[in-house]
Structure 1
């Protein structure tokens, strides 16, 4: 059930039945010339929808909160359309949102993250909330936590690469421009931090070869990831 579609009275009733609230967090940033800027939100939203359905089939109700669209995207900020939020701003914002959920009486909060730059701010925000409230926070980074399963479907994994492109082909194929899908895997032996490093590590906003992506692979990824998450949550909620 999507929170933003409810009146406050409906929310009050839904809250009483829900075992947890799930908060998708992503980013608005460049994903090559072939994927939309909202990829990191579209993916967790779709996974959340599938997880909710699977849990409901088991008799477990969760509420899906409106997503947090903007994330920490320092490296990709060299490309137009990337809206970078400072790590500390994101930490404080997510902390405040989760604190409000705790004030509403939720004992379990699920953070479903779709963007790598958010990981550390989300951990810090969760620790702050857990120190102040009697609440359990479950942080899921869908592409990281289920990397093994994803690499059994795709030959590689990376930003705007085969896995993300496949997922977007399954979610919204009309937004994917496969004729512009190209890239390669790049890395450095140590972390390099400078303003324009994204041009080197993410040429055209890509760090992987997306050309092997298919809708079928995306459907398999979405299904295996949502199934794994639902089974994990079933034992925790």
Structure 2
């Protein structure tokens, strides 16, 4: 169930029997010339929807919170449409959301992250709130990292706006994908270089992978295995 669709009495009733809330977090940023700026939110939102659906079939309920759309995306801020939020600001904002859910009585809060730049701010926010609320568990799931082995059994490569993300978007919102513009290559650096314009070097046109082999079928397979595994983790299965 989506929290924003509930009335407060409905929410009050549900939280008496539901102990887990899922909070999708993403970013608004360039994803090549072929994917929409909201890719990093569309993906975790769809995964959250599928997780809830699977858990319902297993006789378990979770609540899905409205997503955090904006994230920390310093590197890609060189491209139009990228809206970068400072890491301290993102940490503080998410920390307050987590505090509120903890105060409401939820025992497990799942941060379902869709953007790499969010990892450190989310981790720090989670640590602060977990320290304040004994008995509250906060999970940080980076779907493309934590299930990399599964994804690479489906795709031959993965990367920003790459084969995996493009496949997922073809499965979710194909009308927003411009496959005629889907091109790129893998770029790496021996050390992490922090420079204002480093994004143009590491992410030419906002891509770091070859997305040309992406398909909706691969995206559906990724969404299926990731949502199934997250649902089983929440349900306490291995």
TM-score range, shorter chain: over 0.9
1:17 Cα deviation (Å)? 2.2
- 2:99 aligned with 1:99, yes or no? yes
Within 2, Cα distance between the matches of 1:159 and 1:166? 12
Within 2, Cα distance between the matches of 1:140 and 1:65? 15
1:56 Cα deviation (Å)? 1.0
Partner of 2:212 in structure 1?
211
- 2:137 aligned with 1:124, yes or no? no
- Stretches of structure 2 that go unaligned for 5 or more consecutive residues are none
Moved more, 12-21 or 122-131: 12-21
- Stretches of structure 1 that go unaligned for 5 or more consecutive residues are none
Aligned 1:181-192 pairs, distance under 5 A: 181-192=182-193
Aligned 1:102-113 pairs, distance under 5 A: 102-113=102-113
Within 1, Cα distance between the matches of 2:19 and 2:228? 18
Within 2, Cα distance between the matches of 1:164 and 1:191? 23
Partner of 2:82 in structure 1?
82
Residue deviations 1:80-107, cap 9 Å, x none? 0000000111001000000000111111
Q: TM-score, normalised by structure 1?
A: 0.98
Instruction: Report if aligned partners of 1:28, 1:40 keep a CA contact under 8 Å in 2.
Output: yes
Instruction: Report if aligned partners of 1:19, 1:60 keep a CA contact under 8 Å in 2.
Output: no
1:13 Cα deviation (Å)? 1.3
Within 1, Cα distance between the matches of 2:160 and 2:203? 8
Q: TM-score, normalised by structure 2?
A: 0.98
Partner of 1:221 in structure 2?
222
Within 2, Cα distance between the matches of 1:15 and 1:65? 13
Within 2, Cα distance between the matches of 1:13 and 1:219? 34
Within 2, Cα distance between the matches of 1:26 and 1:223? 20
Within 1, Cα distance between the matches of 2:180 and 2:123? 38
Within 1, Cα distance between the matches of 2:48 and 2:102? 20
Residue deviations 1:44-88, cap 9 Å, x none? 000000000111111111000000000000000000000000011
Query: Per the alignment, in what secondary structure is the counterpart of residue 160 of structure 1?
Result: coil
1:204 Cα deviation (Å)? 0.3
Within 1, Cα distance between the matches of 2:147 and 2:185? 22
Residue deviations 1:132-177, cap 9 Å, x none? 0121101110000000000000000000000000000000000000
Q: How well do the aligned residues superpose, as a CA RMSD in angstroms?
A: 0.7
Give the length in aligned residue pairs.
Answer: 236
Within 2, Cα distance between the matches of 1:11 and 1:19? 12
1:15 Cα deviation (Å)? 1.4
Within 1, Cα distance between the matches of 2:57 and 2:19? 14
Instruction: Report if aligned partners of 1:76, 1:82 keep a CA contact under 8 Å in 2.
Output: yes
Within 2, Cα distance between the matches of 1:187 and 1:218? 24
Show structure 1 runs of 4+ deviating over 4 A: none
Within 1, Cα distance between the matches of 2:219 and 2:161? 13
Partner of 1:156 in structure 2?
157
Query: Per the alignment, in what secondary structure is the counterpart of residue 15 of structure 2?
Result: helix
1:19 Cα deviation (Å)? 2.5
Partner of 1:24 in structure 2?
24
